[in-house]
Structure 1
Amino acid sequence: MKKSTIPVKYGVLMAIGLIIYFLILSLLGVHTNPIYSLGNGLIVAFGLYRAIRDYKQEKGTSFEFQKGFMAGLFAGFNATLIFVIFFAIYVTNIEIGFLPEMLANWSSHYHVGVGIVVFVSAIMGFATTFVLTLSFMQLFKESWNSKKRYPSHPIKA
């Protein structure tokens, strides 16, 4: 049986979208403002929706909830891993002053390094992927309210 390439395709596309969005924010000088991370959620939501939709179309009548859920998770996890690698390279080699500038907005008595910020970014990406995939699968799953199982006429005694 042929493996689907949809999770890889959409994972890469979402990662490219996230990277381009981040770089545009960087050019505008607003990439340290946390409110703009909502755009990341929109990019991931659109990508996950399309990935699950295309996976369902590819599988047709053999589409299963678990497989669609896994396709969404893999697409989101791929996107998160690619973006986190880019982000780690960006904050350590491209714009070294990014981290102190971003963390200046937070009141913290702890030393927060690159590793913690990259780790938190990965956890946020994985959590977003999980919640959005679970939500979108509610749109794509087959209904259990079929007329075959529940006849419309009342049972006569």
Structure 2
Amino acid sequence: MEQSKSAIKYGIVIGSVLIGYFLIIRSLGLAEVYWLRLINGIILGYGIYYAIKKNKEYLNNHINYFDGIGLGIKSGLVATGIFVTFLAIYMYHIDTGFSERLMTKLGWNINNPEKILLVTIFMEGIASTVILSLTFMQLFKTSWNIEEK
């Protein structure tokens, strides 16, 4: 499996699950409960973990450290891009008052709350992606430790 195709495939799946989760909490009236976005990190983390794990299995349990990190980062970037694009469409065209309601709950009174939210979510997604990819590759890398006999 080529790494770019794999990253796009898993990124689309992760992004779709993030959108599905958002729509579920929105339908339950919980979209303005900002701490629920922590579950976004869990979804992103599981998706990156699964992408690296499946790629390692495909390569007969021999994955290059930097290729694994790259796969995780690319998958996370695709997922983050898809999710931020969806949120931009949602905030600008579907529920135009969403960002203002959320900012009011946070106690912020700012202009262009949509832009602030989109940039914040994008930065959180990138930071989480890099940290999770580096962390998971510690689990998947081949150890160079010498075993005692």
Fold agreement, TM-score > 0.5: yes
State the TM-score, normalized to the length of structure 1: 0.88
Letter of the structure 2 residue corresponding to residue 52 of structure 1: I
* Root mean square deviation, CA, Å: 1.5
Letter of the structure 2 residue corresponding to residue 6 of structure 1: S
Kindly state the Cα deviation for residue 110 of structure 1 after the two structures are TM-superposed: 3.8
Q: Give the alignment of 1:50-129 within 5 angstroms.
A: 50-60=50-60, 62-108=62-108, 110-129=110-129
Helix, strand or coil at the partner of 2:66: helix
Residues of 2 paired with 1:122 and 1:3: CA distance? 26
1:3 aligned residue: 2
Deviations 1:100-121 (A, max 9, x none): 1100112335434322211111
Residues of 2 paired with 1:115 and 1:139: CA distance? 36
State the TM-score, normalized to the length of structure 2: 0.92
**Larger mean Cα displacement after TM superposition, 64-73 or 31-40:** 31-40
Kindly state the Cα deviation for residue 59 of structure 1 after the two structures are TM-superposed: 2.2
**Identity across matched positions, percent:** 34
Q: Are the aligned partners of 2:103 and 2:113 in contact in 1 as well (CA < 8 Å)?
A: no
Residues of 1 paired with 2:46 and 2:131: CA distance? 13
Letter of the structure 1 residue corresponding to residue 34 of structure 2: P
Letter of the structure 2 residue corresponding to residue 68 of structure 1: G
Unaligned runs of 5+ in 2: none
Kindly state the Cα deviation for residue 57 of structure 1 after the two structures are TM-superposed: 1.5
Residues of 2 paired with 1:33 and 1:71: CA distance? 32
- Higher radius of gyration, 1 or 2: 1
Q: Are the aligned partners of 2:52 and 2:72 in contact in 1 as well (CA < 8 Å)?
A: yes
**Paired residues, what number?**
148
Alignment CA distance shift 1:8-1:35 (3 Å): same
Letter of the structure 1 residue corresponding to residue 7 of structure 2: P
Q: Are the aligned partners of 1:7 and 1:74 in contact in 2 as well (CA < 8 Å)?
A: yes
When you count helix as a share of all residues, which structure comes out higher?
Answer: 2
Kindly state the Cα deviation for residue 92 of structure 1 after the two structures are TM-superposed: 0.5
Residues of 1 paired with 2:131 and 2:50: CA distance? 16
**Larger mean Cα displacement after TM superposition, 84-93 or 49-58:** 49-58
Residues of 1 paired with 2:60 and 2:128: CA distance? 27
Q: Are the aligned partners of 1:10 and 1:51 in contact in 2 as well (CA < 8 Å)?
A: yes
